[in-house]
Amino acid sequence: MKVTEAFQGNYIDALCVSDNDAKLTIKSVSAPNSVKSADGKIIDRPIVYFEETDKGLILNKTNAKSIGLRHGNEMDNWSGKQITLYATTTDGFGKKNVPCVRVRPVNKYQS
């Protein structure tokens, strides 16, 4: 049994993409403060949803800017665009090597 199967969630985290990069097609982007988490709290960031999975990606500033640089500043125009998600680590929250998901825009010349 995989950890991701035992602890299913609604959002993509580093463990979801730790084995392989995930090339995904953006289906939609929800506005900040428009979605509630499982515990009923409002999520104060945009959430990207994909054609290939029911899980969304809660955007942080780094990932939003990465997508925006490749696909434009207007998030409403991201539908149909492809990105690649990959797992890495970052220094944050007072700790070193915190697992995270990062975005790599899909190069139009990649297959």
Neighbours of 77 (CB within 10 A): 12
Tens of each residue's pLDDT in the chain, 111 residues: 888 778 778 999 998 898 889 999 999 999 999 998 888 999 999 999 999 999 999 999 999 999 999 999 999 999 999 999 999 998 877 778 889 999 987 765 454
What is the reported pTM?
A: 0.86
- Signed CA dihedral, 4, 34, 85, 94: sign only: negative
CA distances from 39 to 10, 35, 57, 61 (A): 12, 11, 17, 23
Distance between CA 84 and CA 35 in Å, rounded?
24
- SS (HEC) of 77-96: HCCCCEEEEEEEEEEECCEE
